[in-house]
Structure 1
Amino acid sequence: MKLIGSLTSPYVCKVRIVLAEKKLDYQLVTEDVWSPATTITASNPLGKVPCLIMEGGESVFDSRVIVEYLDTLSPVGKLMTGGGRERAEIKTWEALADGIMDAAILARLEATWSGRTDSQRSQAWIDRQMGKIDHSLLALSQGLGDKPYCAGIHMSLADIAVGCALGYLDFRFPQIPWRNHANLHKLFDKLMQRQSFIDCMPRA
């Protein structure tokens, strides 16, 4: 398999961690989707990463779709156990974590994208996205409580998604004091002891 992605994308980070935890072999091909020379639309018409190219040449895109597919490829490190309500709980955690990443990326683009002048930027839009992040961090902390992991006693896709969201905030928004949520701090420190997280977290 081939994974097309960026080393700074939190969604690509999520997929790479899942690949590592599942012990699946793949080739990483880095791609800058903002470059005029990008060829990403040949694989993903949405022009986004990550994009997984399977052995037969078929493309799978959107990180949520990719990680769910990858979890079926190997019994090693099952990341989505159970079904019905248990599965929905894990996917809801993932959706909330992805929502933090969505808001963070939108805020960053509004503040830094070279396609806009300073007068065209909207602080109100940035503030709206930052508000989403604050509310979501509180929801993560309340949902985690004193549990060792987001969805029970074992690490799951929920924890990987949350770890990627927190890591991205560290990377792009170090001023956000999410470590004031002591339980999120504890969870993140535990995740960062895993080699998959050490290898895949975005860094400056």
Structure 2
Amino acid sequence: MKLIGSLTSPYVRKVRVVLAEKKLDYRLQVDDVWSKASEVGAANPLGKVPCLVLEGGDAVYDSRVIVEHLDQLSPLGRLIPPPGRERLQVKTWEALADGLLDAAVLARQEATWPGRSDAQRCPAWIERQLGKVSAGLKAMETDLGDKPFCCGNHLSLADIAVGCALAWLEFRFPDLAWRADHPQLARLLDKLAQRPSFVDTQPPQG
């Protein structure tokens, strides 16, 4: 399998962490979707990463679709439960984490995209997106409580999605200081950060 992605995308990192936790072999093709030389469009017409190219050449895209496929490839360390209430909880956590990221990415793009001047940027739009981030963090903190993991006593896709989202906030929004108001989430991230799958997929600094 070949995974097309960037080293800084939290969605790509989610897929890479799942690959590591499942101990699946793959080749990473680093691609910059903002570059004219980007090649991901040949596999994903949306021009987005991550994109997983299977051995037969078929492409799978959107991180949520990819990780569900990967979890089915091996019975080792199941990350998504079978159909039922627990599966619904795990997938809802993933949707919340990804939605938080969607808002944070939009806020960052509005604030930093070089295609706009400072006068063309919209502070109200940025504030609206960061409001979604704040609401997402509050909901996750409440739902996590004092549980060791998002959905109970074992690692699941929910934790991986949340961990990648929180780590990206620290990476791209170091001044957000979310830890002070969300100590349970901080505890979870610190625990996840010690796993080899997270250590080996840290984005490059700078």
- TM-score, normalization: structure 1? 0.98
Q: Secondary structure at the match of 2:200?
A: helix
1:38 Cα deviation after fit: 1.2
| Residue matched to 2:136 | 136
1:54 aligns with: 54
Question: Which ranges of structure 2 fall in alignment gaps of 5 or more residues?
Answer: none
* SS of 2:148 mapped into structure 1: coil
User: Whole-Å Cα distance in 1 between the matches of residues 98 and 133 of structure 2?
Assistant: 11
C-alpha displacement at 1:82, in angstroms?
3.2
Give me the whole-angstrom Cα distance separating, in 2, the residues matched to 1:176 and 1:203: 20
Instruction: Return the alpha-carbon distance in structure 2 between the equivalents of residues 110 and 159 of structure 1.
Output: 28
Alignment of 1:69-88 (within 5 A): 69-88=69-88
- Contact 1:171/1:203, CA 8 A, preserved across alignment: no
Structural RMSD (CA):
0.8
2:41 corresponds to which residue?
41
Distance across 2 between alignment mates of 1:120 and 1:10? 27
Corresponding residue for residue 10 of structure 2: 10
The C-alpha deviation readout for 1:130-150, integer Å capped at 9, x for no partner, is 100001000000000111100
- State whether structure 2 residue 89 is matched by structure 1 residue 89: yes
Aligned to 2:27: 27
Partner of 1:156: 156
| 1:154-198 alpha-carbon deviations (Å, 9 max, x no partner) | 000000000000000010001112212111111111101100001
- Report the CA distance between 1:201 and its aligned residue: 2.4
Q: CA deviation at 1:33?
A: 0.4
What corresponds to 1:103 in structure 2?
103
Matching of residue 112 in structure 1 with residue 112 in structure 2: yes
Instruction: Decide whether the 8 Å contact of 1:8 with 1:203 is kept in 2.
Output: yes
Question: Counterpart of 1:104 in structure 2: which amino acid?
Answer: A
Q: Deviations over 1:12-42 (max 9, x none)?
A: 0000000000000000000000001212111
Please state if 1:68 is matched with 2:68.
Answer: yes
Q: Is the 8 A contact 1:167 1:202 kept in 2?
A: no
Q: Report the 3-state secondary structure (helix = DSSP H, G, I; strand = E; otherwise coil) of the residue aligned with 1:77.
A: coil
Q: Secondary structure, in 3 states, of the residue corresponding to 1:162?
A: helix
- Counterparts of 1:138 and 1:200, CA distance in 2: 26
Residue 176 of structure 1 corresponds to 176
Unpaired stretches in structure 1, ≥5 consecutive residues: none
Which amino acid in structure 1 is aligned with residue 169 of structure 2?
L
Residue 100 of structure 1 and its aligned partner are, at CA, apart by 1.2
Distance in 2, matches of 1:144 and 1:201, equals 24
Does 1:167 find its partner at 2:167? yes
> Equivalent pairs: percent with the same residue?
65
CA contact (8 A) 1:103 1:129 kept: yes
Amino acid of the residue matched to residue 199 of structure 1? Answer: D
Partner amino acid, structure 1, of 2:66: I
Which ranges of 4 or more aligned residues in structure 1 deviate by more than 2 Å?
none
**What is the TM-score when the length of structure 2 is the normalising length?**
0.97
Instruction: Look up the equivalent residue of 1:193 and give its one-letter code.
Output: Q
- State the match for 2:188 in structure 1: 187
One-letter amino acid of the counterpart of residue 200, structure 1: T
CA–CA distance in 1 between the matches of 2:163 and 2:130? 18
Q: Alignment partner of 2:153: what SS?
A: coil
